[in-house]
Amino acid sequence: MDYIEINKQAWNKRTLVHFDSKFYDVAGFLEGKTSLNPIELAQVGNVQGKSLLHLQCHFGLDSLSWSRLGAKVTGVDLSSDAIDKARWLADKLVIDANFIESDLYHFGAINKQQFDLVFSSYGALCWLPDLNGWAQIISDALNEGGELHLVEFHGITDLLSGYAYFAKDQPDVEQEGTYTENCVGEKSTTVCWSHSLSEVINALLCAGLTLVEVNEYPYSPYNCFEGLEFVEGEGYQLLYKGQQVPLVYAIKARK
């Protein structure tokens, strides 16, 4: 199964829907709004003058938000349509950022550059079959003392939606729509893998990175799972038997 080609087609289709969605609010972004959330803004801190590699950057809103804060950004994504849109946004806003269309593993195999920061967020890891390979790519792409900032949806949300929490030999192959409010039901085939929090952490440790912080959050900035309720000033929460479910985790690791 050519999972890369299957997922590329799905993400090309999704990108065009996402670009026009309220969820991504491109109009607001063009007027100057950041797409970054308090979790990653607080964790990453000052990026002024730092080189930042954004893995799985989608159509570049977060990448360009980091650029606006002074980072020198390189974004990598599998979807050709996403990279076209990211380049279009960078041109329109006259932001100097570099966008590369590539499968993450292919990028890792040929990348020679090293960065101060690697960033990846919200819905990235489920598209990757091999986390040891992913972590090694990050380690190779960081300067000594450089930092990974990963902010990701908690795998418990997969479990509550009927998917595996722990890694399985075979991926989930599904017909899926997308998560933005303007999705009209058109579906694409997607190929995804579950990764537990311990699998993510162990992959980073195996690649020689030092964990600086691991945090779990009971709020998601995005309303993208069933049953979420909005809590003013916090975000979206999910209650299970009256208790808050961890929805997001964030890892800071150093080389």
Positions touching ligand SAM (CB under 6 A) are 4, 7, 11, 56, 58, 61-62, 77-79, 82, 103-104, 121-124, 127
Name the minimum Å distance from CB 64 to ligand SAM: 11
Nearer to ligand SAM, 173 or 239 (CB): 173
Phi and psi for 122 in degrees, rounded to 5? 35, 85
Residue closest to ligand SAM when measured from CB atoms: 123
DSSP state of 53: E
Q: How far is the CB of 211 from ligand SAM (least distance, A)?
A: 22
Is residue 75 helix, strand or coil?
strand
Cross-strand bridge partners of residue 100: 76
Q: Which residue in 198, 201, 217 sits closest to 209, CA to CA?
A: 201
How far, in Å, are 2, 48, 85, 223 from residue 122 at the CA level? 24, 23, 19, 12
CB nearer ligand SAM, residue 77 or residue 158? 77
- In what helix (H) or strand (E) does residue 236 lie, and over which residues does it extend? strand 235-237
Shortest distance, CB of residue 76 to ligand SAM, whole angstroms? 6
Compute the least distance from the CB of residue 201 to ligand SAM, in Å: 20
In the complex with ligand SAM, which residue's Cβ is closer, 62 or 232?
62
Q: Which is nearer to ligand SAM, 81 or 147 (CB)?
A: 81
Please check whether residue 47 is in contact with residue 68, taking contact to mean a CB–CB distance below 8 angstroms. Answer: no
Using the structure block, give the residue that is written with the tokens 């020679």: 112
**Which one, 67 or 121, has the nearer CB to ligand SAM?**
121
